[in-house]
Amino acid sequence: MATTGRQQGFNLIELMVVLVLTGIVMSVGIPQFNSTIARGNISAESNRLTASINFARSQAVNKQQTVTLARKSTTANDWTEGWTIYSDAGGEGNQTMNVGDGDVLLKDISTDTAGLSIRANAEGDQWISFDPSGRLAEDDAVAVAVCNDDLTDGLEGSRLEINIVGRTKRLTIAAADKADQCLP
């Protein structure tokens, strides 16, 4: 059997075309992929906070005791570092956990918020408490915004609103409104 002197494979022009096409696909795909990840992170943290709020409210009703969520951060209105949930034996609500008073830690929530902010309005600055009937112990509704740090990227944020009855509603923050609604 005779062999031809021709090699099989890619020539330089074909290789360059493949590299250019790969570069174009990556330049379009990577930013879209990053946006998808950012939207997923916002949704995950909104879901985690909603679950914590619902847990605290149900525990208040089940235990017939005031239950409080307290932010971990020392910065006003900032819930980005996570929160604790505890039953308040004294029934005061909206106070620092006091084990000596009989308060019991129910959950300690850490967040994975790289690139995100979780900010509450003045009513939810440090605490969100529920009384034994499941009602919000604050004087007015609490709002918490979950947004990515880049307020100009065109991505939507998430806003949790807890009404005075204790029910939580999740709303979308339009990309154009993030500068107003994502900061305390």
**Model pTM?**
0.81
| pLDDT digits 0-9 by tens, 24-43 | 877 776 767 777 888 888 99
Q: 33 lies in a domain?
A: yes
Q: 3 lies in a domain?
A: no
| pLDDT digits 0-9 by tens, 148-181 | 888 778 888 999 999 999 999 999 999 888 888 8
Q: Which residues contact 43 (CB under 8 A, 6 or more apart)?
A: 158
Q: Which residue has the tokens 């807890």?
A: 162
Q: 2 lies in a domain?
A: no
- Domain enclosing residue 159, as ranges: 12-181
CATH number of 87's domain: 3.55.40.10
* Amino acid code (one letter) for 63: K
Distance CA 107, CA 58 (A): 13
